[in-house]
Amino acid sequence: MKISILGSTGSIGKSLLKIIEKDQKKIKIILLTANKDHKNLLKQATKFKVKNLIITNNKSYIALKKKTKKLKINVFNNFKSLNLIFKNKIDYTMSAITGLDGLDPTFKMIKFTKRIAIANKESIICAWNIIKKELKKNKTLFLPVDSEHFSIWHSVNNRSKNKIDKIFLTASGGPLLNFPLKKFKNIKISQALNHPNWKMGKKISIDSATMMNKVFEVIEANKIFEIPYNKISILTQPSSYVHALIKFNNGMTDIIAHDTTMKIPIFNTLYSNKKNSLKTKNISIKKLNNLNLKIINTKRFPSVKVIDLLVDKYSLFETVIVSANDQLVDLYLRNKISYTDISKKLIIFLKKKEFLKYKKIKPNSIKSIENLSKDVRLKICSLSV
């Protein structure tokens, strides 16, 4: 099996490499990519005998070129070089570059791979109509990586989407599920980052604390499974053992549970058409008896009100949401605004006419999405001063 990993030095990329480690004789990695982490990228390339690397940061690119001068490794600085690397379609690609930086590489990679597992939320949220068209054009199979969406995909499988009556996405509630509401204004960054179940980067940890990450997952579910927003709900489930519930119109309900690890969905996207098995823990009866499922509390997680502003069609409004939130989280992590300002300012901004107009505009190119994102970020900064 020939594969590539976009964003191999991140948590998803590292998890995939750990899975591959035991199967190196059968899997050949054609390409690994990173933004700045040239040291780990070179270690990965050496360990897995990878001949092609892309590193987009200029300083890191220069440093990596020097280190690989005497090695038989091709080092590139951007994704235009994909045409030089791939002459034929490979079997599998993991797209795990975070943020909107991952959108263009994901789009470009589709024509070079038979299957693409997308962990990059922004590609699905902001450009699903463009991505879907490219998938169809190149006959490339899409696989969702988020534990929630993989769970739904796995459960639905060959069933018709029309048979889905309701989807419930679960959220742990993060570090602030039981935090006193009176103290929310003074939440420290370290407290918001302290997720009880998952080890993640700072940005996604804050999104998990505010529940904005779950809002993004609702948008993803709407796009991927073509399910209207009124059929998607969020439930808190503190242990992160249940990842989704699906109620079908024949009266049946599927509850999809697995250990709190991304290895399971990653493994299953890699070996989706193989007979490989993954060694996991036994079913936790204790966790199943203490699911503690609850309807989301909007006073504690006001960000979920963003869902009320969404429309069941492709629009640039999703890019506005992603970009505005990204910038507000960045401001919070730099101590420019308070924790409660993130959701408060986000909803205020999204209700402005200059942003609402994008509900009526359909994304028609990756460039239009990237340009809008830059504009929104600048406006958010100017309005937040």
Query: 270-323 pLDDT, tens per residue?
Result: 998 777 788 888 888 998 898 899 999 999 999 999 999 999 999 999 999 999
Q: How confident is the model at residue 247 (pLDDT cuts 50, 70, 90)?
A: very high
Average pLDDT, the chain: 92
Q: What is the pLDDT of residue 142?
A: 96
For residue 150, what are the β-bridge partners? none
Give me Rg for the CA atoms of the chain. 21
Q: What is the DSSP string of 207-261?
A: HHHHTHHHHHHHHHHHHHH---GGGEEEEE-TT--EEEEEEETTS-EEEEE--S-
The amino acid present at 164, given as its one-letter code, is I
Closest CA to 55 of 46, 70, 39, 69: 39
Q: What is the pLDDT of residue 384?
A: 63
Share of the chain above pLDDT 70, in %: 99
Contacts of 219 (CB under 8 A, 6+ apart): 124, 125, 310, 318, 321
Helix residue ranges, H only, 22-97: 38-48, 58-67, 82-85
Mean pLDDT of 354-382: 94
Q: What is the pLDDT of residue 385?
A: 54
Helices H / strands E in the chain, number of each: 16, 12
pTM of the model: 0.93
Are 27 and 4 in contact by the 8 Å Cβ rule? The answer is no
Are 331 and 280 in contact by the 8 Å Cβ rule? The answer is no
List the structure tokens of 231: 């059929």
Are 4 and 23 in contact by the 8 Å Cβ rule? The answer is no
Give the helix/strand (H/E) hosting 329.
helix 317-333
> Can you tell me the distance from the alpha carbon of 186 to that of 296, in angstroms, rounded to the nearest whole number?
22
Looking at domain 313-385, its CATH architecture is Orthogonal Bundle (1.10)
> Can you tell me the distance from the alpha carbon of 269 to that of 271, in angstroms, rounded to the nearest whole number?
6
Q: How confident is the model at residue 178 (pLDDT cuts 50, 70, 90)?
A: confident
Domain ranges of the chain: 2-145, 147-305, 313-385
Contacts of 224 (CB under 8 A, 6+ apart): 124, 128, 144, 149, 152, 153
Q: Say what the alpha-carbon torsion angle 175, 295, 329, 262 is, to the nearest 10 degrees.
A: 70
pLDDT at 381 over 90: no
Which CATH class, in words, describes the domain spanning 2-145?
alpha beta
Bigger pLDDT: 11 vs 159: 11
> How are beta strands 294-295 and 141-144 bridged, if at all?
unpaired
> Can you tell me the distance from the alpha carbon of 356 to that of 81, in angstroms, rounded to the nearest whole number?
37
Mean pLDDT of 246-262: 91
Count Cα neighbours of 216 within 13 Å in the Cβ-side half-sphere.
25
Q: What is the pLDDT of residue 276?
A: 79
